[in-house]
Structure 1
Amino acid sequence: MTGLRRVVVIGAGIMGAACARALAQDGHQVTVLERGAVAGQTSSHCEGNLLVSDKGPGMELELAKAARARWPQVAAELAAELGEPLGDIEFEPKGGLVVATTEAGGAALTGFAAEQRGAGIDAEALDVASTRRLEPYLRPDCTAAVWYPQDAQLQPTIAAEALLASARLAGASVHIGTEVLGPVLDSGGALTGVLTPGGTFPADLVVNAAGPWSGDVARRMGVPLPVLPRRGMVLVTSRMPQKVFHKVYDGDYFGTTQSADSGLQTSTVVESTPAGTVLIGSSRQRIGFTESFEVDVLAELARKAIELFPVLAGMSLLRSYGGFRPYLPDHLPVIGLDPRLPGLAHVTGHEGAGIGLSVISAELLADQVAGRAPAIGTDAFQVTRPSLSEHLNGEPR
């Protein structure tokens, strides 16, 4: 699909902002429609991870590797375009440390790291002394530890705002408080725009980047897409002298990211922020868009964090927050044009990896639209892929 001029992007979180930037920089007339506020949902309710350490060999890992190579360049581009302070997205290539606390967990972590090394990931098994040098306040009896220097972090809300500001510099416009109600079709059934309460927005291409609400947007556009919300909770401590120096998490994290279980799952993720607070995660559960405060989930996160870093036992909590991540049943995002409705594209379904994978996903879409060779293969991310086909009829499960 080439020669497009008018593009409507649905959603002004980091995924929509990245899509708007990539497409506007390609010369398209981009309009972003957001029913709430910029970065008002998932992008402001998460940790800002850019991880390779939690992904096994396969296409999601290839996407993460491409993202890790691209983000330092994007951070520099945004700083040059926007200046201080908006251009500083707090990109930190601080690395990640994955640990196990049982013999079985240690064997599993060591084996997983070996598979990743075979896929080109720098995964260094550490002895006790090396682990303590990296994280002196970590519990001393870990059974295995693997160092991932490629892991990084950025501030997700700031990054979304910066990407959108960059898109505006390239000519994009943004309409907040504007909900998409459905498609505008011509007499032949071709997509020519979207309908909102304030009127229609003409478009040659409509990009569904609505995160956990992408399934609802797809239904409104007349095609099923089995995106479901998966809720995650995070604790934030009060400011403290730095006791955690990298992103540290237990080896159970990978299993929770790949599980299809709708029930509550928790694993330990602990990291510091430039502000001096400590972020503690993570939980996953599919409970729809329920926003109720769940003390038992937060208590479980706190307990596991203290087991990993006993020094946290004396810290007070500043706040907690929860957010919804866009879950797809085969654990791969959808990135690309939808042949069921020509003129519609989706960039969604990244679940908890969406912050880190946003820019590369947007650029892969822009490549498809322009007819350029993409940085990596995209067949695995198409809505027509076999692993998703059984879920495209009826309601998502």
Structure 2
Amino acid sequence: MAADVVIVGAGIVGAACARALARAGARVTVLDRGAAAAGTSAHGEGNLLVSDKGPGPELELATVSLRRWAALAEELADELGPRFPSVEHEAKGGLVVVTSTEGLSGLRRFADAQRASGVEAVEMGAEQARELEPDLAPGVVGAVHYPHDAQVQPVAATEALLASARRAGAEVRTGVEVTGPLLGAGGRLAGVVTSRGEVAADAVVVAAGPWSAEVAERLGSSIPVRPRRGMVLVTTPMPQRIRRKVYDGDYFAATQSAGAELQTSAVIESTQGGTVLIGSSREQVGFDERFRAAVPAEMARRAVAVFPFLAQTNVMRSYVGFRPYMPDHLPVIGPDPVRAGLWFATGHEGAGVGLAPATGDLLAAQLLGLDPALDPRPYAVDRPTLLETQS
């Protein structure tokens, strides 16, 4: 029996799409050439942030998704039971700190614009910031607190979404690579050809993260997703001294930059296991995984400038991942304008975990002809801001 929808990619965005579609009654098959949650979703920090997003479509998607995550964590726990690993949802809040008066002025302007869009952003002086994070560096002159920033464990969250999708009837097949299109009448996409045979479907959703361009090309289309490499450092476990997600004021600029060169900023937080995660880096080097010592050295320098005690802490490992970068810094969620039957849910760069629930709901609503909670036009494949980057 043919599936209604094939989803290519078993990361967190594909998992969220699968759950939303399956629970709405679609027959869903998820395909991944590797293991579930083994790509970008396994190489991030699990951020659920509004603090790093300026007014506009991405912030709107993030606001909806942040609320959705709070409910979703409870839904998944109730549905899957205590024997299934927790998604570790933690509404810890975020703190953006600056070390110069110029930086503070810029942060104030940014927070003012966010507040006008409904984000709770509380400006703080240095002493107030240290009440929240006593170990902050002496050079911190001010901060903005975002109470609603949160975090999940990204692999556990992906696996939970897939488990929920399976309970709703979805099939998840790993070790299956999509190699080409299965075409129907008039050239409409009618499924996919894979390394293990054909899979028929009424619609195919590409949710393959930074590999989405490759999959789209195999299916006869194109999308300007590129890999953007990032690294995370993991310290040895310690008594918790960092209570929130804390990052410096350069982080937002790095997320919005189009530059291919190395960019770093301090993003620091504790995990429930006692380790500290230290990010972040961004560079466009294709899928090059080679280790470059200059990258973690610069990340460590920035982290110590925010929390000096980290200079005495050991890093036990690091990991590199590739984020799906779009030239206009917005994800693509919707149908291909040329090839009927082809859909996309990709291009979230480093925000895929945070934006996954709203992405899944928006994709499912469009594909099934339901009323979407958000206007889908800003995320369309043929939106003007994306077409301009390709001209």
Answer whether contact 2:335 2:341 (CA < 8 A) is retained. yes
Choose the corresponding residue for 2:330, options 329, 332, 337: 332
Choose the corresponding residue for 2:159, options 155, 158, 161: 161
Q: How much does 1:372 deviate? A: 1.8
**Alignment partner, residue 104 of structure 2:** 106
**Alignment partner, residue 67 of structure 2:** 69
Answer whether contact 1:226 1:391 (CA < 8 A) is retained. no
Map Cα deviations across residues 330-369 of structure 1 (whole Å, 9 max, x no partner): 0000001112111110000000000110111011011112
Q: How much does 1:129 deviate? A: 2.2
> What amino acid maps onto 2:52 in structure 1?
D
Question: Does residue 265 of structure 2 align to residue 267 of structure 1?
Answer: yes
Q: How much does 1:86 deviate? A: 2.1
List alignment gaps of at least 5 residues for structure 1.
Answer: none
Cα RMSD of the aligned pairs, angstroms, is 1.2
Matches of 1:186 and 1:366 in 2, distance apart? Answer: 22
Choose the corresponding residue for 1:124, options 122, 125, 128: 122
> What amino acid maps onto 1:229 in structure 2?
P
Distance 1:5 1:200, change over 3 A: closer
Answer whether contact 1:67 1:359 (CA < 8 A) is retained. yes
Q: How much does 1:103 deviate? A: 1.8
4+ runs of 1 displaced by more than 6 Å? none
Answer whether contact 1:32 1:174 (CA < 8 A) is retained. yes
Matches of 1:292 and 1:91 in 2, distance apart? Answer: 32
Answer whether contact 1:43 1:157 (CA < 8 A) is retained. yes
Choose the corresponding residue for 2:302, options 298, 301, 304: 304
Question: Does residue 282 of structure 2 align to residue 291 of structure 1?
Answer: no
Question: Does residue 222 of structure 2 align to residue 224 of structure 1?
Answer: yes
Answer whether contact 1:207 1:345 (CA < 8 A) is retained. yes
Answer whether contact 2:32 2:174 (CA < 8 A) is retained. yes
> What amino acid maps onto 1:328 in structure 2?
M
Matches of 1:259 and 1:312 in 2, distance apart? Answer: 28
Matches of 1:61 and 1:20 in 2, distance apart? Answer: 23
TM-score w.r.t. the length of structure 2 is 0.98
Q: How much does 1:371 deviate? A: 1.7
Map Cα deviations across residues 14-55 of structure 1 (whole Å, 9 max, x no partner): 111111111111111111100000101110100000100001
**Alignment partner, residue 349 of structure 1:** 347
SS in 2 for 1:23: helix
Matches of 1:315 and 1:346 in 2, distance apart? Answer: 42
Q: How much does 1:85 deviate? A: 3.9
SS in 1 for 2:299: helix
Choose the corresponding residue for 2:12, options 14, 18, 23: 14
**Alignment partner, residue 42 of structure 1:** 40
SS in 2 for 1:274: coil
**Alignment partner, residue 386 of structure 2:** 388
Give the total of aligned pairs. 390
**Alignment partner, residue 375 of structure 1:** 373
Map Cα deviations across residues 308-328 of structure 1 (whole Å, 9 max, x no partner): 100111111110001000000
Matches of 2:228 and 2:96 in 1, distance apart? Answer: 23
Matches of 1:144 and 1:32 in 2, distance apart? Answer: 46
Matches of 1:144 and 1:109 in 2, distance apart? Answer: 9
Matches of 1:178 and 1:391 in 2, distance apart? Answer: 33
Q: How much does 1:227 deviate? A: 0.2
**Alignment partner, residue 141 of structure 2:** 143
Matches of 2:104 and 2:207 in 1, distance apart? Answer: 38
Q: How much does 1:140 deviate? A: 2.4
List alignment gaps of at least 5 residues for structure 2.
Answer: none
Q: Identity rate of aligned residues, in percent?
A: 57
> Which segment drifts farther, 59-68 or 137-146?
137-146
Choose the corresponding residue for 1:314, options 298, 303, 312: 312
Map Cα deviations across residues 39-76 of structure 1 (whole Å, 9 max, x no partner): 01110100000100001110100000001111111111
SS in 1 for 2:186: coil
> What amino acid maps onto 2:80 in structure 1?
L
Matches of 1:46 and 1:187 in 2, distance apart? Answer: 41
> What amino acid maps onto 1:246 in structure 2?
R
Distance 1:238 1:81, change over 3 A: same
Q: How much does 1:224 deviate? A: 1.2
Matches of 1:60 and 1:174 in 2, distance apart? Answer: 29
SS in 1 for 2:187: coil
SS in 1 for 2:5: strand
